[in-house]
Amino acid sequence: MPEGNIIHRVARVHGRWLSGRRFTADSPQGRFGDGARVVSGRVLQAVEAHGKHLFYRFEGEVRLHVHLGLFGNIRHFRSEAPAPSPACRLRLSSPHATLHLSGPQACELLTAEDEAKLRARLGEDPLRAESSPERAREKLCRGRMPLALALLDQERLSGVGNILRAEALFLARLPPLLPAGALSEADFARLWDVLQRLLSDASRDGHIVTPGAPRVPECVAGRKRAERFCVYGREGQPCPRCGAKVRRRELAARGLFFCAECQGVDAVPRPRVAKKKARAVQEKRRGAR
DNA sequence: TTCCGATGGCCAC
DNA sequence: TGGCCCTCGGAAC
């Protein structure tokens, strides 16, 4: 479930338990065989997260870049590890810790230059200590792109996924379709603050729980996902703030959840991209029936 | 128990 | 714009 909070948590946990150890590496699935041979026998020195990207640095300037994408899964074992699944792209093994990576979108070795280029492309990450709200505002708040699309653009802001965008826009009471360039300084400050709080709490706790969600958790484990959020995945259910029905709209082929009452949605014109996409999706669905 | 859709983002066409 | 990666939670049965 990889939004920025999970990736930062993984980096922290792996940094704590895996760095300083010498690993043998292999690729049970076979697709990272050459890379695994390069990594094998080296000591892991550091693990870092930037947005949704993970960077593992091994001795000898060997750099491993991992992006989990939608299906990626990464597990670590501090005691005896189970046999890897046939889909396991990369296994890092040491006597005391093992890592299994499967289904990643990216698992590749990068030169220092490649890594610097990739990271230069990424927008400000609200979870990184050196992130600057001024730079973030500069990148996020330009042009006519709807705010909800701009938030998912990792070159503007990195680490925000579909859940966080819905919950952050809801908490900041912002219309998702407002052109990014029209966001006021005060509105941006509120949004940045909300994003930092949501991401850091979620990174600490291991899951996103939006303040004000329908049921405040005594125990989050076992609670249905939709109960942890105010609007995400709650189409047709009452807004926890005003009771109006939560709405869902397709925007660039992704579900966008919001409370029209709380977020003043009707005050903002629909962008053409949303109409076009929505029509295409409707037609596709009609065809499938 | 089975099946579907999605918390992403790159690439080929 | 569709395909790919091939996981996982939750709905449907």
Which nucleotide is closest to the Cα of A155 by its C1'?
B9
The arithmetic mean of pLDDT across residues A1-17, rounded, is 89
Q: What is the pLDDT of residue A237?
A: 87
Comparing CA positions, the residue from A149, A161, A156 lying closest to residue A72 is A161
Whether CB of A284 is under 7 Å from strand C: the answer is yes
Determine the Cα angle at A211 with ends A175 and A236, to 5°.
55
With 60 as the cut, is the pLDDT of residue A275 above it?
no
Task: Pick the range with the lowest mean pLDDT from A56-70, A156-170, A216-230.
Answer: A216-230
Known catalytic residues of A are 2-3, 52, 254
Each residue's pLDDT tens digit, A33-52: 999 999 999 999 999 999 99
Q: What is the pLDDT of residue A175?
A: 94
CA–C1' A150–C13 (A): 40
Q: What is the pLDDT of residue A216?
A: 44
Residues touching nucleic chain B (CB < 7 Å): A 1-3, 6, 51-52, 67, 69-71, 105-106, 152, 154, 160-163, 225, 232-233, 254-255
- Compute the residue count for chain A: 289
Token pair in block for residue A184 = 């006021």
* Mean pLDDT of all residues belonging to chain A: 86
CA–C1' A277–C1 (A): 11
Each residue's pLDDT tens digit, A128-157: 999 999 999 999 999 989 999 999 999 999
Confidence of residue A206 (pLDDT cuts 50, 70, 90): confident
How far apart CA A143 and CA A95 sit, in angstroms, is: 53
Measure CA to C1' and name the residue nearest B6.
Answer: A70
Which nucleotide is closest to the Cα of A232 by its C1'?
B7
Comparing CA positions, the residue from A134, A166, A133, A170 lying closest to residue A152 is A166
Confidence of residue A226 (pLDDT cuts 50, 70, 90): low
Protein-covered nucleotides of chain B (CB closer than 7 Å) are 6-10
Other Cβ atoms less than 10 A from the Cβ of A38: the count is 15
Within 8 A by CB and 6+ apart from A149, the residues are: A251, A252, A273
CA–C1' A217–B9 (A): 33
Q: What sign does the CA torsion over A27, A30, A34, A37 have?
A: positive
How far apart CA A89 and CA A102 sit, in angstroms, is: 5
Whether CB of A224 is under 7 Å from strand C: the answer is yes
With 60 as the cut, is the pLDDT of residue A204 above it?
yes
Contact present, A80 and A113 (Cβ < 8 Å): no
Task: Pick the range with the lowest mean pLDDT from A21-35, A73-87, A163-177.
Answer: A73-87
CA–C1' A182–C6 (A): 41
Residue A187: which region, alpha, beta or left (left: phi > 0; alpha: psi -120 to 50)?
Answer: alpha
Whether CB of A225 is under 7 Å from strand C: the answer is yes
CA–C1' A278–C1 (A): 14
Protein-covered nucleotides of chain C (CB closer than 7 Å) are 1-2, 5-11
Measure CA to C1' and name the residue nearest C4.
Answer: A105
